[in-house]
Homo-oligomer: A and B are copies of this chain.
Amino acid sequence: MEDLKRTIRSYTHVSDADMEFGLQFYKKQIFKKGTYLLKPGQYIDSFYFMKQGCVSYYTMEEGTTQVMEFFTEGYFFTDLYAYIEDIQSQSYLEALEDTVVYTISKADVQKVFDHSHQLERFGRLSMQRTFVINFQRINQLRNLSNQERYLELLKKRPTLFQRVPQYLIASYLGLTPVGLSKIRKRLSQK
């Protein structure tokens, strides 16, 4: 779990003792391609750290999938909304590839935060990071055209386009497969 450790320490100092206390609760878990970590109606009790693989986070709105995020290596993730609000999830977490995660239960997260001020601070700072990402996401949705958002994604996460089918990327960008195809055509003609 060296990469998990490294990721935590990229946020704030954590003593070896506190780190050891925290890490003891994480368990390795494997999901085959096409299986679900979470489905609508379930309560989510886990936080995940992505060791290897790709998971899509999406809802089903009137028969069409609405992809909110693709989680790849190094991401901390869960259905954070349902996790925080302690409500039945409305979302899917689906493994788009064979996936390896480290997982910790909500109760154990609480134990860790109660035991260690340093790790509670890590919790606050990682929440801040999530805020920054969401803030940038909102600004992109508001201020950029679909074409600009496509180009932005191409620049920021180029490997995604090799791992994930285009119609899911279209959904992530908030448009239809037809729409994305048009944009790509427009761009290739220039």
Contact = CB atoms under 8 A, between A and B. Distances in A.
Contact of A123 (B81, B85, B124): B124
Prevailing SS type, chain A contact patch: helix
A127 B135 CA distance: 13
A121 interface: yes
A108 B100 CA distance: 41
Interface residues of A, number: 27
A132 B85 contact: yes
Interface in A68-120: 68, 80-81, 84-85, 113, 117, 120
8 contacts: A68-B139, A80-B135, A81-B135, A84-B132, A113-B121, A123-B124, A131-B134, A142-B174
What 5 A-B pairs have minimum CB-CB distances, sorted nearest first?
A124-B124, A127-B127, A134-B134, A141-B141, A117-B117
